[in-house]
Structure 1
Amino acid sequence: MRRYLIFILLCWPLWASAQKTQEAQEAQDWIAYRDAYRQMIWFEKYGKPKQFLQNHFRIRAREKGASTDGLRLSLNSKNIHQSLTLDVLGRAVFPFSKAAYDDNAELTLNRNASQFRSGAWVSIVTRADGVYAAADLRTACEQMLAYLQYAGAAAGKACVGVQFSYPRSDAAEVVFQTAGGASTALVVREGPAFPDDVQSGFRVVAYRFAAYPENGRIVSSSVPLAIAALLE
């Protein structure tokens, strides 16, 4: 019993220190700019084709109960104070700044940062006219897969399609048109904008390559919030 008490007394300072560190991390409302910069620069330096891809810095909820309504992101340092606009999916245009890097700036949230995941987020570029050649979407998916594999993810995956996402209030229609002009409406359902997200409530339309001819095009009646690659 005495040995057990001595063991506890010896280990207590280490446990208390670890507990304080964990509590400090859970209470933080900031993200190191330098860490985010290192993630984002991967895409900038990527030398293979990526004309159908775009890269954002994204904040997304870890759990379903963590709301992103009213979430605000800003870049702050001794000399910099800049608000960064988040879209409805939590994406922001990342400010590449040598001054912010040198100042060891912080990306600050108005919420507890431990409730959210943050980092680089690549998606497929949307078109204002809503018209997407089937061949381009296949190429976009392959570009996404190649980039993720370059970044050390998506091992063993293959491109099976893409997913269009819309606000719940958007009654957008998405159709596949063959080269001969015949049209087939794609099924609309409710789900997350990106396959791995915990938050749903969006209108999503999956275009799976195997279900349609290689030649043709996808026509969307409005601009989607995002286009995600379906990798399985």
Structure 2
Amino acid sequence: MRKSLHLSAFVALLLAVGTAAAGPREGEWVSYRDAYRAMVVFEKYGKPKNLIQNHYQVAAKDQSTAYDGVQLALRGKSVRINLALDATGRVTFFPLLKAAYDENAELVLSRPLGALSFRPRVSIVARADGVYEAGELRAACEQALAYQRHVDASARGKKCVGVHFAFAPKGAGVSVKLRAADSATPAGLPVLDGAAFGDGPGEGFKTVSYRFGALPDTAQVLTQDAPLAISALFE
């Protein structure tokens, strides 16, 4: 009986190791090697990327999930690091560590969040002054789309149509205005409940979408508060 239990435990261990090596899956953990490879692609990407950034994101299927206090722990034989998540589930700083890669370390959540997906997330760099030139937003969107085409062939038929600003879920008085070149008075853009990123479902954040349309590059988008995230809109 004892030998049978030992054999069962050994088989379970082999299955666990095999699953860890298989790569990302829905659950509470992911292989660091897979995350590392995905992040290195952006690091080595040689085309313009000065207006965009890349984070590793833990995305909960339940859009009401709060990431306050949640950490993604990097655990290996010689490496143990806690990685903080921002309000959108992105790792604020993702270390590229050869030792963790060689040890096939795991990225494990500090507490269960339900059904999850793990993925790199490209977004547009926010400006400290809250003033965004329409031409610069177009350029940032084009950089994001060029990178998306680099990693995903299905994006090659898409075009940039705008950008998506996300603010805190309980943000009061969110204000984003559009100032056209021929007008001294900015016009407010609609604030809606929606997902943090334009390609995601849910209504957990205050959001504003700005579509390029025919406005000249000299128009400006003005944000009163710093957005949690700015994402490109493709269609």
Query: TM-score, normalization: structure 1?
Result: 0.83
1:17-166 alignment, distance < 5 Å = 29-64=28-63, 68=67, 70-92=69-91, 93-111=93-111, 115-152=115-152, 153-166=154-167
Q: Identity rate of aligned residues, in percent? A: 44
Report the alpha carbon displacement of residue 198 of structure 1 after superposing the two structures with TM.
3.4
Amino acid across the alignment from 1:151: V
Distance 1:113 1:80, change over 3 A: farther
Report the alpha carbon displacement of residue 100 of structure 1 after superposing the two structures with TM.
1.0
Q: How many residues align?
A: 212
**1:228 corresponds to which residue?**
231
Report the alpha carbon displacement of residue 160 of structure 1 after superposing the two structures with TM.
0.5
Distance 1:215 1:65, change over 3 A: closer
Report the alpha carbon displacement of residue 183 of structure 1 after superposing the two structures with TM.
1.4
Unaligned runs of 5+ in 2: 1-11
Distance 1:178 1:29, change over 3 A: closer
Higher-Rg structure is: 1
**1:168 corresponds to which residue?**
169
Give the match's secondary structure for 1:206: strand
Judge conservation of contact 2:164–2:233 (CA < 8 Å) in 1: yes
Distance 1:142 1:89, change over 3 A: same
Unaligned runs of 5+ in 1: 1-16
Query: TM-score, normalization: structure 2?
Result: 0.82
Cα separation, 2, equivalents of 1:189 and 1:135: 24
Cα separation, 1, equivalents of 2:114 and 2:186: 46
Q: Provide the alpha-carbon RMSD of the alignment.
A: 2.4
Give the match's secondary structure for 1:148: helix
Amino acid across the alignment from 1:194: F
**1:188 corresponds to which residue?**
191
Judge conservation of contact 2:70–2:84 (CA < 8 Å) in 1: no
Structure 1 residues 218-227 or 196-205, which shifts more?
Answer: 196-205
Report the alpha carbon displacement of residue 218 of structure 1 after superposing the two structures with TM.
0.8
Distance 1:191 1:174, change over 3 A: same
